[in-house]
Every structure is written in structure tokens, then in C-alpha cells.
Amino acid sequence: MYTLVFLDAVFLGFASHGSVSPRLSVVAPILLGIAAAVRSLLWVTRRTDTIPSIRKIRRYLIGTILAAAVLSLAFGGWALVLFFEADLARRTSIALYIFIGAVTCCYCLQTFPVAGWLVMMCGASPVVVCLLLSGDRFLVGLGVNIVLVSAVVLRMFGASHAGFIEVLASRAEMAIGQRRARLAEQRAHRLAYHDPLTGLPNRRALAGYLRQAGPGQFGLMLVDLDRFKSINDVHGHPIGDQLLRAVAGRLRWVVGEGGRSYRLGGDEFAISLPYAAGDLDRVRSVAHAIVREVARPFLIDDRMHHIGASVGIALYPEDATDADTLMRRADVALYQAKEAGRGCYCAFAAQMDAEIRRRSTIETEMREALAESRFYPRYQPIVDLRTGQVTGFELLARWRRDDSEIGPDQFIPIAEECGLLNTLMLDLLDRACLETRDWAVPVSIAINISPGQLRDEWLSHKILSVLARTGFPPARLTVEITENALIVDADKAHHAIESLKNQGVQLALDDFGTGYASIQHLRMLPFDKIKIDRSFVESLTDGSEALRIVRAILGLASTLELPVVAEGIETLETAEMLRGLGCAQGQGYLFGRPMDKDEVACWLADGVMPPAAEALIRRSGP
């Protein structure tokens, strides 16, 4: 625009040269050219300001208005002086040059109509007024024509400006939409790859990291929280969520900048930790630090909460070179850490994989065996140590697998892990109730309940349903629970026990002395008897420590007026010692191994006392 203004001024000075003074035909165009050049340089320098502030934009616009007014007045004033000093022919040329220059500037300023109108008013209007007032028909007609053309041009510029505003608005909306789309994409990406509760990367982010694993070495650690579910159940999910966030914070601190923490879901986390060749101890030290830090108490809502962590470690590329295998082997190591007693870490070893495959095979076969009723009950007698009479039987599970009988120690832990224990227990109880209901002597049967089973709120209803369906008297059933069940969830245990006791079912505290039961628990729950763990009974004749413990348990039970059953009696000497200490009942291979229903039925029908019981009565007296 300023180049055109300068050229228009040069041509106008050339057209008027010779008829006016050199100051008007030479000096004036040069001064106008200099002013246009300065204004052009200022405009060029402002173009580098890519994202100006609103304040700068306002200042630029005001500067443009002032520049348009000043340059137009200077150009129009010079043209007016030339108009009065020129003859008729040159007046026409001057008017045309002025009009062409003004229209050109207006065209360049069509996006800023205020400046365009100022150019027309200050630059072209003075000469046009002179044309209209000249009295010459030719000049008046030229002035009228310029006015009409200017009106049309300004009207077109107004319409063009409105279209320009619409384009700007459309582009602004498009830019806002694009920005929203980018923000939405960023949020979606964050939600897809980050855990919203803890802010840690999630399982998908870990899978991406493992898929892109390069030539370097790193350790993958799976972290599972111990005892978290109990806190979540007892204190509620808000406390559990705060605890998870606190654990995430400690993991970040332990891992530091060198590694990365992930939350895989629930109470399971993962750590990826690169390490240099030969620096395997770094991975183990971080795993040890995780176990140590998570074991420290957490203060949440003015209450101290105690949990733990088990950690499984798998190494890339030593243990696996693909993501799925590495995850599976870290999970295998985590399982071994839990099996070792929790609150520890374990690195993957090749033999672990074989053990997991063995357990998986057993689980598959167990499901098939349950469907085909290949689990069956066996009954081990419980003897009154004072009279030698059989008072009841403990129900023990057996599994016919590959033409051999398998004991519960090999399949009960696996059944509990894969959620089959309740089904197995209820199926065996159903069969046992039908088999023992019509025995000649109405002795009781005892069945074990694990801590995990007591988490089932409907357990008592399921047991009572079996008794009702089979017609087995509830008073002949004894439910044995371990001490650990009272710690895992005392409220649920109390509810289940209360429901069973209300229907007449007997209750025994199993493996007493090996867990965390207290006198308070014994007073709080309506136990009918206590069973001493076999570990104390088996070493009773070997030293004084076991003897002191057994004597203390019997003294406590006597104070609470609870009969005691001793498990694992295998020698007559042990039975005599327990009888002398005041133990009421005994159980073990000395009195009889687990038997099938027909053996027990014949035994009870004949009224036969176990031979070892007869020997005990003969040696100790009635």
C-alpha cells in the first residue's frame, strides 16, 4: 500500500512538474515517500510479534488510524495546493491521481474500514469538494462521478469487511474446536494410560513399556498389598482409596527417578527398574525397600493402619524377552513370595514355573473331579480320654486321582486359591450328613472352616441349608475354625458363628496356640471346645517347653469351663500324659486312621472301643 502511495505521489509530482514550484513537484513527493517508508518499516518490524497481547493490538490499531489520518491529510493537502495552481487539464489529472491513490489505500485497508474511511475523507474529499464547487461542467461531472464511485467502493468494502469478520469468527471457532479436541485427546490419553485414583501409569502403560523394551536390562516387580482387603472392608472404600494413594507416594519415593511405578488395579502395583549389567543387587535392594516402606504404619484420619507388601521379580531379558512371559513370570515370583509367608520379595527361578504349571493342572483336574464326585469324605475318631469311648469323628476330605488317594494337604490350599473350597466343603458335608445321619450311635461329626470361607456372608445359611435338606441334626455338627479367622475378619466370623449357634451347631477353636487368639476372643465367641494343635502334642514327651504350653492351655480352658481336644496323638505315652493333665478328648493315628462310612458303621454297630483306648484305660485306670 505504501509503495503504491509513493509511486502515485511520484507520478503526480511528474505530472505537475514545470507548472508549479520545485518544492511542490519534487520536495513534497520525497517527503511523502520518506513518511511512507518509515511507516512501512514500522509495520515490518511488528510482523515478528506472532502472538501480540491485547494491549499491543489496541496500540497497533490506534497507530494505524493516526497514520492514515496524518498521511491522508498530508497527501490531500499537497494535492489541494497543486489543484489551485494547475490549469484545467492538470486539475483533472490531479483529481484522478488523488482518487486512484485513495481507492488503492482503501482497498488495502478493507479489513480496517475506519482507516479506509479516514483516507477517503482526509485524502480525496478536499479535491472532490473543489471539483464540485469549481463551476466548470467538466470538473463538476468528474467530481460527481468520483463521489458515486467512492460510494460504491466504500459500500463494497463494507460488505467485504463483514465477510472478513465472519471468516475471523469462523476461524476462531475452528481454532477453539481444535484446541478442545486436542485437550480432549490429551485427557483421553491420560485416562487411557493413567490410573485416576493414584495418578500412576496403569496396566496399559506398562504393556506399552514392555512391548517397546529395548536392548537394555530392567527388572519388572509386581507388588501386592497384604491385609489391604481387610482394611477396605472394615473401614470403607474412602479410607482404602487414601491408603492406595499413600502407597503410591511411597513407591514413587522408593523407586526415584531411575524407575517407574504403575498401578495395575485393586491393590496390585508394578515397578519397572532399569539396571546396569552386573548390578542385579540394585533391583533386589529396591524390592527390599518396598517391603520395608509399605510395612511402616500409615496415618489416615487420625488412625494408624498396618499393611504389608509381597514383591515378585522377573528380569528382562534374563527371565523372558517378551511382555506376556515376563509378566507371567513376575506373577509366578509374586505367588511364591506370598507362599513364603507374605511381607517379602522373591525373584523368579525356573523351577517356579514348573510348580505353577503343576498347580494349574491340579486346579483343572479338581474342577473335573468335583463335577464327577471324585472327592469323598473320610472319618477319623475322636475319643474320650477318661472312658475310651468314641464321641465323634472329624470329617476329612480325600480325592481319588489316578488310582491313588490324595490327602487334603495337597489340594485344599489350591482349592482355596481358586475359589473352589466352599463348593468342595458343602459337597462333602452333604455326602457326610447323608452317610452318618442313621448311624447306630448318634455321634457328632466335625468339619473345618478356613478363614477365607468366613468372608462369605452366606456361609452359615449354606451350611444350615445342607442340614435341613439332609435331615441331619444341627446338634451333631461341630464347626472348627482356626485362630487366624478371628483376626482376618472378626465381625464376619462372629456373625456366621452366631447364626450357626442359634440353630444348635457346636463350635470348636482349632489349632489353638499357633495363631493370634486371645482370652477376649474366647469370651466373645461361644466356643464349645478347644483343640490343641498337633505341633505341641507331638513334642509333648520331648521337652518341658511343650509341656508348659499344654498345661497352660488346659488351665485356661478349665477356667473358662471349655473341654479340650488334643490332635495328633500317636503314642500311648502321649495319651497317658494328656489324660493325666486333664485333657478331655484325643484324636490321632493312635486311636484310628481316617475310615470310610462302612468301617465306621460296623464299628459303631458292634460297640467296639478302639484298641488303643482300651489299653489307655487299662494302664491308667477308669
pLDDT, tens digit (0-9, with 9 covering 90-100), for 453-481: 877 888 889 999 999 999 999 999 999 98
- Model confidence at 77, pLDDT cuts 50, 70, 90, reads low
Average pLDDT over residues 327-341: 88
pLDDT score at 479 = 92
Give CA angle at 440 (434, 443), nearest 5°: 70
Res 177 pLDDT > 60: yes
Neighbour tally for 607: CB within 10 Å = 10
d(CA 340, CA 320): 23
Higher pLDDT, 498 or 287: 287
d(CA 55, CA 49): 13
The three grid cell numbers given for residue 598, joined into one nine-digit string: 462302612
**Which of 14-23, 131-140, 216-225 has the highest mean predicted lDDT (pLDDT)?**
216-225
571, 372 contact by CB (below 8 A): no
Residue by residue, what is the 3-state secondary structure of 203-261? HHHHHHHHHCCCCCCEEEEEEEEECHHHHHHHHCHHHHHHHHHHHHHHHHHHHCCCCEE
Neighbour tally for 419: CB within 10 Å = 10
pLDDT score at 563 = 92
Higher pLDDT, 443 or 44: 443
Task: Give the DSSP letter of residue 609.
Answer: P
**471: alpha, beta or left? (left if phi > 0; alpha if psi -120 to 50):** left
- Model confidence at 84, pLDDT cuts 50, 70, 90, reads low
- Model confidence at 56, pLDDT cuts 50, 70, 90, reads confident
The rounded mean pLDDT for the chain is 81
- Model confidence at 543, pLDDT cuts 50, 70, 90, reads low
pLDDT score at 176 = 79
d(CA 38, CA 30): 12
Model confidence pLDDT, tens digit, residues 199-244:
899 988 898 888 887 778 899 999 999 988 888 877 888 899 999 9
Provide CB contacts within 8 A for 458, sequence distance 6+: none
d(CA 504, CA 481): 16
Nearest by Cα to 450 from 487, 401, 494, 485: 485
Give CA angle at 52 (47, 56), nearest 5°: 100
d(CA 494, CA 524): 8
Which helix (H) or strand (E) segment holds residue 135: the answer is none
Start-to-end CA distance of the chain, whole Å, equals 129
**What amino acid is encoded at 402 in this protein?**
D
d(CA 412, CA 405): 14
Beta bridge partners of 510: 482
CA distances from 471 to 332, 434, 507 (A): 45, 8, 20
Q: What share of the chain is helix, strand, coil (3-state, %, to 5)?
A: 60, 15, 25
222, 311 contact by CB (below 8 A): yes
Task: Name which of 126-135, 168-177, 437-446 the model is least confident about.
Answer: 126-135
Res 16 pLDDT > 70: no
**135: alpha, beta or left? (left if phi > 0; alpha if psi -120 to 50):** left
Higher pLDDT, 283 or 149: 283
Res 12 pLDDT > 80: no
d(CA 359, CA 332): 11
d(CA 216, CA 419): 40
- Model confidence at 46, pLDDT cuts 50, 70, 90, reads low
d(CA 472, CA 478): 12
Nearest by Cα to 620 from 583, 577, 556: 577
290, 254 contact by CB (below 8 A): yes
d(CA 233, CA 267): 13
Scanning 109-227, the segments in alpha helix (DSSP H) are 113-119, 125-132, 137-193, 203-211
Higher pLDDT, 274 or 235: 274
- Model confidence at 522, pLDDT cuts 50, 70, 90, reads low
The three grid cell numbers given for residue 19, joined into one nine-digit string: 507548472
Task: Name which of 20-24, 191-195, 431-435 the model is least confident about.
Answer: 20-24
d(CA 559, CA 536): 20
Average pLDDT over residues 185-211: 83
d(CA 268, CA 224): 5
CA distances from 519 to 195, 215, 534, 613, 616 (A): 44, 59, 21, 32, 32
Neighbour tally for 621: CB within 10 Å = 7
Residue in the block written with cell 482394611: 231
Higher pLDDT, 352 or 574: 574
**What amino acid is encoded at 318 in this protein?**
E
Preceding omega of 610 cis (within 30 degrees of 0)? no
Average pLDDT over residues 351-379: 84
Higher pLDDT, 609 or 61: 609
**What amino acid is encoded at 108 in this protein?**
C
Q: Is the dihedral of CA 112, 113, 118, 124 positive or negative?
A: positive
